[in-house]
Amino acid sequence: MQKLPRDYLVYTVAFLDPAGGKENKQKTKARSAIAVVSCDAANRIFVRDTWAERCATQKIYQKIYEFNEKYKPLVFGIEGNAQQGLFCDSVAMDAYQKGIDLPVQSIVHPTSMNKDFRIRTHLQPVVSQGRLFVQKDQYKLLEEILDFPMSTIKDLIDALASAVSILPKQTFISKVSEESKAHLEYLRESGAPVDYIEKQAMLHSRADMEINTMEDYLNLLKGGH
C-alpha cells in the first residue's frame, strides 16, 4: 500500500461530538465520538483517525488532548448545540489552565437539520466523487458508512460529516482544469492535428477528474497518467 506523504496534506481538522445525554432510537446512550480528517490540494479527504466510546468526561478530555497533540489540527470543532455549548466552554477553560494550545471552536448545527440529513449533505458529494479515503483498519467507521442510513449507530459517521463540514474547499482541481483548457487552446491556435488535440483533451480529462485511488493521485503528482 502506498502512503501519502504528509507534505501533500494541507489542512487538518478534528471534530468531537460529546454525546452527553443524547439517546438513539433504541434508547441507548450515544457514544462520544471524534473524527480527524485532512484534505489535500485536490480537495480529497483522508480520515486520519477516529474514536468513539461511552465514557466519563475526564476520558473525553484525555482523548481530545491526545488527538490534538498527535495531529495538531488547525481547528478542533466541538458540537455546540444546547448544553453541549457549555461542554465546549469547559474544554477551552481546562486547556487554558493546563497550558495546552487547543484550537477549539464551537460548531452549532442548524436545529432544522436532523442527523441523517446532515450526514448526507456533507458526505454524499465527497463519497460520490471518490474523494473520501478511509483506512482499511477503521472497521467501525466503515461499518457505519456501509450500514447508513439503516443502522441506529451513527456516532462516528456523524462526527466525520461534521469534521468534513469545517474543512475549507481547495481549488486545485479547478486550477488544473484551467491549465488544461489553456493548453488545448494553444494547440488549436498552433494548428495541431484534430486527432492529436482530441487525444490530449481525453488525457487532460482523465488527469483532472478521474482519480479514484491513492495510486492515481500519486501518479498525477509525479506527472504520470
Q: Is the pLDDT of residue 8 over 70?
A: no
In a domain, 1, yes or no: no
Share of the chain above pLDDT 70, in %: 70
Q: Which of 31, 81, 34 is nearest to 56 (CA)?
A: 31
Range of the domain at 181: 172-222
Q: What is the mean pLDDT of residues 66-87?
A: 87
Domain co-membership, 52 together with 145: yes
Model's pTM, two decimal places? 0.70
DSSP code string of 52-118 = EE---HHHHHHHHHHHHHHH--SEEEEE-STTHHHHHHHHHHHHHHTT----EEEEPPPTTS-HHHH
Q: What is the pLDDT of residues 138-160, one digit of tens each?
A: 999 999 988 888 888 889 999 99
Compute and round to an integer the Cα radius of gyration of the chain. Answer: 21
Domain co-membership, 103 together with 178: no
Quote the CA–CA distance of 11 and 8 in Å, as a whole number.
Answer: 9
In a domain, 116, yes or no: yes
Q: What is the mean pLDDT of the chain?
A: 78
Domain co-membership, 128 together with 52: yes
Give the domain-ending residue among 148, 165, 182: 165
Cβ contact 56:69 at 8 Å: no
In a domain, 117, yes or no: yes
* DSSP state, residue 152: S
Domain co-membership, 158 together with 178: no
Q: What is the pLDDT of residue 129?
A: 81
Domain co-membership, 62 together with 117: yes
Q: Which of 78-82, 83-87, 216-220, 221-225 has the highest mean pLDDT?
A: 78-82
